[in-house]
Structure 1
Amino acid sequence: MVRFSRRQGCFIIMGLIFLLLLASSTISTTAVVAGHNRNRDIGAALDDVPILNYHKIDTLHHALSISPQDFEEQMDYLSRNGFTTITPDELMAYLNHGKALPEKPVLITFDDGYLDNYTNAYPIMKKYGFTATIFLITNLVGHDERYLTWEQVREMQRDGFVFGSHTVSHKALTALSREQALEELLSSRQEIERQLGSKVRYFAYPTGAYNSQVEEMVKQAGYKAAFTIRFGQAGAESNPYALERIPIFRGQQTFRSFFVRLNAAPVLERFGLIRN
């Protein structure tokens, strides 16, 4: 029996992914070509859109912390390869009505609303002309020095960043009573709207925990869509209240992990390995 080291195994897996990419001539790593957009209402297939999911952009040695250097390398890759950032409104207009997107769309999201999203990620994204959607824990905004202030949020909003809800306290909604969960959903949305003067339409599940009952409460609370931490891309078969994302983690080879996750998702979906 042939045995492989962990490193050899990683290279074999990467090689297989690249072979699948080359063999799949109809798949593009860029997900959507605007000229081929069609209306889902008439049953035509839509290409999938990658949604990247970040948390912290700092130098902490934590899986959820991407260094500013690694983050800039990733943004530079997206820029050099012609990606354009989109908003959740643009994504939903495409998924629901087939409205055209840029040739290489990507939705970039951050969960929690950490201060480093402003101090580290924001300047890098402005450098490349990118925007993002940040899901806020409203009890922590302006009350914890590790998180954004409302003044910073408003500045980023003026530059095209979108802000959604990540609840009031970041408690898993599946562990709360119906009344408590609705309070988390409604109060967080109302506070963001009060602070920013604009409607809040989007939500990300704290800890990724959700079920059919929680989905119904998210609808009842007035959100148009909700984002999970399930690996995959958003497409015609996606549940708008359980949208897939591509989590980006820190690792020994952070850029390689980013590259493989971004480019492998279309192949894995085509062969039925993710999103059933």
Structure 2
Amino acid sequence: MKAILTFHSIDDRGSVLSFPPATFARMIAEILDGDVTICSLDQLLSPNIDNALAITFDDGMRSVYNNALPVLRDAKVPSHLYLTTGYVAGKNNWPTQPAGAPAFEMMNWQEIEACAEAGMQIENHTVSHPDLCRLTQEQIEEECETADLSIEKQFGRRPRHFAYPYGNYDARVAGIVGEKYQTCVTTVLLPLGRKLRAAELPRLDSYYLQNRRDYRHFFSPTASSYLRLRHWLRVFRSRL
């Protein structure tokens, strides 16, 4: 099985966006002790690799720098940071943030640079974290291009990968954004299948992997069936 894991904040606050630092460190160590490869997205998409996963972080919370970076750097593990460029050195108070959402401090450029130097690839998560389905094509392209230019100015490379804010997209959005990047990732709770749509890659939210039992048996014969069940339960609840 191959999969993409997604994290937001690595902290002990217990919010829906939080993942405990001690659990994160233990998870990485136990994955590496097994027969699973942690690799980049580019490597993960190769047909020559199996039993592998890629690690991604959304938004750019400072807790990733404080609590995830030391673990990944010491383990020499690659990862990807989908950066919301308009809120660097600020807080995650973008206009579309739902009421009651937990507030987090965001990394500054110096901290993001330290992440990049340690092997974290900086990717595009737009400028202002909008619901792209509500934007015109021109607005979508501006969100992508402005964020690309900010990242290119800092690191000398344009992002190759993109994450839809809130995981929200439709066929129109995927058609616009998908032409700009090698991959676009969603919040669909599934492992990677054999037939991949590069503009609609699923990811496994770490919220569902905080139990040691879940990630220890991540690549067991029953893991894929379990994840698909969780996916459809999630879809069902969203329609209630």
Q: TM-score range by the shorter chain?
A: 0.7 to 0.9
Shift of residue 107 of structure 1? 0.3
Shift of residue 115 of structure 1? 0.5
The number of equivalent residue pairs is 218
Q: Secondary structure at the match of 2:141?
A: helix
Matched, 1:157 2:116: yes
Q: Residue 73 of structure 2 contacts residue 119 of structure 2 at CA under 8 Å; is this kept in 1?
A: no
Shift of residue 268 of structure 1? 4.8
Among residues 166, 176, 194, which one is paired with 1:236 in the alignment? 194
Q: Where does residue 256 of structure 1 map in the other structure? A: 213
Q: Where does residue 137 of structure 1 map in the other structure? A: 84
Shift of residue 176 of structure 1? 1.6
Cα distance in 2 for partners of 1:213, 1:83 equals 36
What do residues 149-175 of structure 1 show as CA deviations (whole Å, max 9, x unaligned)?
A: 212222221222111111101111012
Matched, 1:76 2:29: yes
Cα distance in 1 for partners of 2:194, 2:145 equals 28
Q: Where does residue 173 of structure 1 map in the other structure? A: 132
Cα distance in 2 for partners of 1:158, 1:182 equals 28
Compute the TM-score of the two structures, normalised by the length of structure 1: 0.72
How is 1:184-195 mapped onto 2 (pairs within 5 angstroms)? 184-195=143-154
Cα distance in 2 for partners of 1:115, 1:205 equals 20
Cα distance in 1 for partners of 2:228, 2:139 equals 40
Q: Where does residue 28 of structure 1 map in the other structure? A: none
Shift of residue 184 of structure 1? 1.0
Among residues 67, 76, 79, which one is paired with 1:120 in the alignment? 67
How is 1:209-228 mapped onto 2 (pairs within 5 angstroms)? 209-220=168-179, 222-228=180-186
Shift of residue 262 of structure 1? 5.8
Among residues 64, 67, 78, which one is paired with 2:17 in the alignment? 64
Cα distance in 2 for partners of 1:270, 1:205 equals 21
Q: Residue 50 of structure 1 contacts residue 262 of structure 1 at CA under 8 Å; is this kept in 2?
A: no
Q: Secondary structure at the match of 2:188?
A: strand
Q: Where does residue 7 of structure 1 map in the other structure? A: none
Shift of residue 212 of structure 1? 0.7
Q: Residue 113 of structure 1 contacts residue 141 of structure 1 at CA under 8 Å; is this kept in 2?
A: yes
Cα distance in 2 for partners of 1:173, 1:182 equals 10
Summarize the Cα distance change of 1:267–1:116 in structure 2 as closer, same or farther, 3 Å threshold: same
Among residues 228, 232, 246, which one is paired with 2:204 in the alignment? 246
Q: Residue 135 of structure 1 contacts residue 203 of structure 1 at CA under 8 Å; is this kept in 2?
A: yes
Summarize the Cα distance change of 1:268–1:58 in structure 2 as closer, same or farther, 3 Å threshold: closer
- Runs (4+) of structure 1 moved beyond 3 Å? 256-265, 267-271
Q: Residue 51 of structure 1 contacts residue 234 of structure 1 at CA under 8 Å; is this kept in 2?
A: yes
